[in-house]
Amino acid sequence: MSFTASNDQQIAEALGDLSKLPNTMKMAATNGIEESFEPVPPPNGGDWLAQHKERGQTMESFQQTSSKAIPHGTHKTIYIQPVGSFDHPRAPPLDVIVEFAKIFFSGCVIELLPTVDFTKDMRKRDGSGGPQYLTGDFHNYLVQTRSQRDTRRELLCVAVTMADIYPGDGWNFVYGQARSTDGVGVYSFARLDPLFYRATSEEILQTPLTEEHRIILLRRCIKILLHEIGHLFGLKHCIYYVCLMNGANNETEMDRQPLYLCPVCLCKLHSTLQFDVEHLYETFANLCDEYELETECSWYQKRLEYIH
Ligand SMILES: [Zn+2]
Ligand SMILES: [Zn+2]
């Protein structure tokens, strides 16, 4: 499948009419773009774009998408539902990851639910790193248990798990999968550990987390959660720039996804959440600084200079 990077005209068309945006958003979408955003590199054989045809989602097609989350009335809460044990020496800190989502999805309330166990309805198969669970059964579970949550507040519900997941026969795994029509999603931390492809699950359990791996793991966990929730807000995979919303098939692609949205995706999320981009960038930069995500902190600080 051949992929050609978008040219300036295609990107301008994808952005659409910016004239009604607040000044800071106009600047965020147009100033210093070449300095801050990279074009999508040509895909290698195993990469997402070599295997999936992505036509790109313009601002106009985003606005016409009907199955997307839009906070309304009391419905502003994104529930995060941990499934299965997180009692693992290398488990990522859910409370920290939630803090990043709180800032990114401005105006929404993010609530971490108490952990529940896998149910007998969640189908599994044997995978290389232990049992692998079917994503659709997590989606079904979240839909079926909706009445146990606060239905007046719920906007979305996303399951997170340390188990490996797959979406169906013919797939080896997925990092996460969203079901927009029901406002639910699931994502797995299993393959985010830098040791996943390099050691057995027993070896991983016995290996202390180094500082370097702690940062890599945290960064990957945050970006996958934000990416999955981004899908539930109606954002499809991005083909315009290297962006949080790029599809990822492997570790290299996942690590290339940055922790920020390109101008096209930023405008989409802004049209729904109407955030103050300057405030969002400032608070996100501060949080990155607090948790030692240095590359991300300096990216956001640099972008702020283009918005002031
Ligand atoms: Zn995706
Ligand atoms: Zn994008």
Residue 44 belongs to some domain of the structure:
no
pLDDT at 127: 80
Domain CATH for 185: 3.40.390.10
Predicted TM-score (pTM) of this structure: 0.94
Q: Is residue 296 located within the same domain as residue 228?
A: no
CB 47 within 8 A of CB 125: no
Whose tokens are 């992505």? That residue is 54
pLDDT tens for the 308 residues of the chain, in order:
577 888 899 999 999 999 999 999 999 999 999 999 999 988 887 788 888 888 899 999 999 999 899 999 999 999 999 999 998 888 999 999 999 999 999 999 999 999 999 999 999 999 877 899 999 999 999 999 999 999 999 999 999 999 999 999 999 899 899 999 999 999 999 899 999 888 888 888 889 899 999 999 999 999 999 999 999 999 999 999 999 999 988 888 889 999 999 999 999 999 999 999 999 999 999 999 999 999 999 999 999 999 98
Residue 19 belongs to some domain of the structure:
no
pLDDT at 1: 57
**Nearest ligand to the C-alpha atom of residue 261:** 2
Structural domains of the chain, count: 2
CB 79 within 8 A of CB 157: yes
CA of 143 to the centre of ligand 2 (A): 29
CA of 263 to the centre of ligand 2 (A): 7
Q: Is residue 304 located within the same domain as residue 169?
A: no
Q: Is residue 82 located within the same domain as residue 133?
A: yes
> What is the rounded CA–CA span in Å between residue 56 and residue 279?
28
Q: Is residue 165 located within the same domain as residue 303?
A: no
Q: Is residue 198 located within the same domain as residue 297?
A: no
Residue 20 belongs to some domain of the structure:
no
Could you tell me the residue range of the domain that residue 289 belongs to? Answer: 279-308
**Nearest ligand to the C-alpha atom of residue 178:** 1
Residues 6+ apart with CB under 8 A from 300: 260, 281, 282, 284, 285, 288
